């Protein structure tokens, strides 16, 4: 009965710490950057992309895995925004022209390209040059070292209890 109590306590501690660690340890890691104009041109009929969709297309994964910034590659500077280019420009005709919008913003007319219309974070159009660079960061739950240590310790205690139980059974 004592072995079962130890195992149950270790499992409960690991579950509590694992849940707490996963909830509090969401971190961002810089994965790369791109210029808006590195995408295909509108005449080729590309879809419009949000910054998050463009990051998923370029670096892999799902759009929801990404946070985007227009500032730099430092996690502390993430502004959850991205540069976009708008079909027909959105800056009164001045060239080059880009706009900062929320990382999940896009306008898609399904290829009708009205002016001003389709807006994308990955298209060769008005937003040309290094100044229109978006920075991508992945996010996800990363277990904290303390949670890993406690979980491993719990499994060790459970293993030791099972071993002792076997030794007692063999001796009897």
Q: Which of 22, 17, 25 is closest to 155 using CA atoms?
A: 17
The number of C-alpha atoms within 13 Å of 166 and in the hemisphere containing its C-beta is 6
Task: Write down the domain spans for the chain.
Answer: 1-25+143-172, 27-141
Question: What is the reported pLDDT for 10?
Answer: 45
| Spatial distance between the Cα atoms of 114 and 133, rounded to a whole number of angstroms | 25
Digitized pLDDT (tens) for each residue of the chain, 172 residues in all: 454 444 444 444 444 444 444 333 458 999 999 999 998 887 667 788 999 999 999 999 999 999 999 999 999 999 999 999 987 767 777 778 898 999 999 988 776 666 667 889 998 888 899 999 999 999 864 444 555 566 676 667 767 777 777 766 666 6
Quickly list DSSP for 55-91.
HHHHH-S-GGGEEEESS-S-GGG--SEEEEEETT-SS
32 Cβ contact partners less than 8 Å away, ≥ 6 residues apart: 58, 59, 135, 136
Q: Which of 99, 96, 116 is closest to 108 using CA atoms?
A: 116
Query: Residue 114 has which token pair?
Result: 């009205």
């Amino acid at each position: 009965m004592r072995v079962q109590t130890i195992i149950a306590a270790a499992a409960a501690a690991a579950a509590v710490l694992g849940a707490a660690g996963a909830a509090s340890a969401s971190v961002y890691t810089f994965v790369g950057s791109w210029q808006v104009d590195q995408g295909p041109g509108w005449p080729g009929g590309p879809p419009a992309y949000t910054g998050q969709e463009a990051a998923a297309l370029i670096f892999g994964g799902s759009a929801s895995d990404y946070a985007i910034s227009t500032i730099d590659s430092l996690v502390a500077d993430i502004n959850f925004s991205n540069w976009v280019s708008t079909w027909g420009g959105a800056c009164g005709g001045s060239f080059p022209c880009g706009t900062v919008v929320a990382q999940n913003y896009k306008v898609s007319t399904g290829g009708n390209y009205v002016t001003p219309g389709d807006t994308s974070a990955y298209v060769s159009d008005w937003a040309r040059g290094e100044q229109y660079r978006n920075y991508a960061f992945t996010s996800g739950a990363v277990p904290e070292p303390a949670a890993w240590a406690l979980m491993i310790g719990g499994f060790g205690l459970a293993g030791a209890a099972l071993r002792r139980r076997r030794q007692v059974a063999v001796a009897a």
